[in-house]
Amino acid sequence: MTRKVLTGNTVTRRSFLIAGAVMATGLNLGTVQRARSQSGRPLGRAKMDIDQFVHDCISAHQETDPQAAVLEVLRRAVQEPGAVIAALGEPTEAGIRVLHRSETLTIFNATWTPQMNLMPHNHLMWANIGIYTGREDNILWHKTPESIEAVGAKALFERDVVALPPDAIHSVTNPLPRFTGGIHIYGGDFFDTTRSQWNPETRAEEPSDGAVIRAIFDRENDRMQRERDRG
């Protein structure tokens, strides 16, 4: 099987790359007083207008190529990471904050604890991911008759976006000693879809859904609290 090296901003299972069309969707970063992070550091940017962002994503989703159009809205947003942090807050725990949910579109803010890992999983719908702080390392997998095998990788840094097709399988790691935050957008109801995840050691396929993912995040926060308690 031919291995593929990933470049650029978008990924498919076959090439792990799809082109993101530049759409004139526009993003309104509403003018608000200069915000400060929880550390007291001035962010120095306007505060992102979350309602306008969601509206722009919904409008872009009506385009001929909805994934590419929504990707461009997301790309514009994460180019201003300080504005996103001013609106969503600096990550302090693993979590999923839902910004929009419908049968055709789910948008949420996902935050990863330091060194957090998420086993290989699929979505069964297209996915766009944009990183506004930290880093997210992806291993890309392909189903085989027996299980899955790794076929590529993609590291996402601050301001990076990636598009995954409906048949993508990936695992995720935050390799940093600090939190990572990203905006995730899915072309369907992410929380009402029974998907699959694969055991990280045996690669056995298991059922997964929104409740399973939330439980993983809860365990990560428990881990972080135990580490804090140990001092």
What pLDDT digit, counting tens, does each position of 69-85 carry?
999 999 999 999 999 99
Task: Tell whether pTM > 0.85.
Answer: no
- Residue 187: CA atoms inside 13 Å, Cβ hemisphere, count? 21
Checking if the pLDDT of 144 tops 80, the result is yes
Residue type for 78, please? V
pLDDT band at 129 (very low <50, low <70, confident <90, very high): very high
Residues paired with residue 96 on neighbouring β-strands, in sequence order: 110
Q: What is the pLDDT of residue 17?
A: 37
Domains of the chain, each with CATH number or no CATH: 93-230 (2.60.120.10)
Owner of token pair 């050691």: 201
Contact between 164 and 130 under an 8 Å Cβ cutoff? The reply is no
> Rounded distance, CA 152 to CA 11, Å?
10
Q: What is the pLDDT of residue 45?
A: 53
Gyration radius (Cα) of the chain, Å? 17
Checking if the pLDDT of 111 tops 50, the result is yes
What pLDDT digit, counting tens, does each position of 4-55 carry?
334 344 444 443 333 333 333 333 333 233 334 443 444 445 899 999 999 9
Between residues 41 and 113, the one the model is more confident about: 113
Contact between 188 and 125 under an 8 Å Cβ cutoff? The reply is yes
